[in-house]
Amino acid sequence: MRSESINVLVFGAHPDDCDIKAGGTAVKYATAGHNVRFVSVTNGDAGHHEIGGIELATRRRDEATAAGEALGIEYHVMDHHDGELEPTLERRKKFIREIRRFEPDLVFTHRPNDYHPDHRYTSQLVQDSAFMVTVPNICTDTPALRENPVMAYLSDDFQKPYPFSPNVIVAIDDVIDRKLEALHQHTSQFYEWLPWNLGIHEDVPSDEAARKEWLKEHWLDRSEKLADRFRDQLIERYGDAGEDVTYAEAYEECEYGSDLTAEKQAALFPK
């Protein structure tokens, strides 16, 4: 990755989405002196079975801030209601302004085919902002970018209309504890709401150390499965060391951004 500082912008639909999909990669960027901003497009005010509204939104914003500190990155939370995101013109303009102000070299977001409408529409809003960020007569209160940033999708397991097909795999074994610490900050999600929703809430330990071990078993296995799923690409990128990688994160080029050339891939993605 190039020595001069780069800007990396990650749009997730909810507080914790960015962390799950790109937390390890974010640590690598931050450690190398690059600028990373996570943006949660909704405030997460529906993601719980006992509390909601302002109380939950405030709690989740605080959790996101703590997660950002654990990763060493900025974490912004937009004030859109959880579960109610729509790809409107007004919101597209918010995305255009957000992208322009941060001047990213690289933008990550969800793929457009996803189980959650907030994920799908976050993806659509990012895609709809591509190219438009370079048009001076759109959102004239913010200077247009001279170059469309590279855009890439976060990983998922969905198969239709086509499965996730990554261009870049990032090994994250050396920063996995930092990613775990970030996820641990989202108490309302990983120890309360998601276990309740999945029917495994009675299995969640009360002791903090035991909780982290439980979290590692139930959530970091996604990064393990990615490493196994794309083992050949790990070996191609890391040589023989790729055979021993346990945890990975992966990204697929979005064709609406600038072309992810081999040169740009080497400059923009950490090893």
Q: Which CATH superfamily is domain 7-268 in?
A: LmbE-like (3.40.50.10320)
pLDDT tens figures, 185-224: 999 999 999 999 999 999 999 999 999 999 999 999 999 9
pLDDT at 124: 98
Its pTM surpasses 0.85: yes
What's the distance, CA 179 to chain centroid? 12
Domain-wise residue ranges, the chain = 7-268
Residue 53 — pLDDT band, cuts 50, 70, 90?
Answer: very high
Q: Phi-psi bin for 81: left (phi > 0), alpha (psi -120 to 50), beta?
A: beta
Give the whole-angstrom CA distance, residue 57 versus residue 45.
5
Alpha helices in the chain (DSSP H): 17-31, 53-71, 89-102, 117-129, 176-185, 187, 194-198, 208-219, 221-229, 231-238, 262-268
pLDDT tens figures, 95-147: 999 999 999 999 999 999 999 999 999 999 999 999 999 999 999 999 999 99
- CA angle, 129 as apex, 125 and 132 as ends, to 5°? 155
Q: Assess contact for 163 and 113: CB atoms under 8 A.
A: no
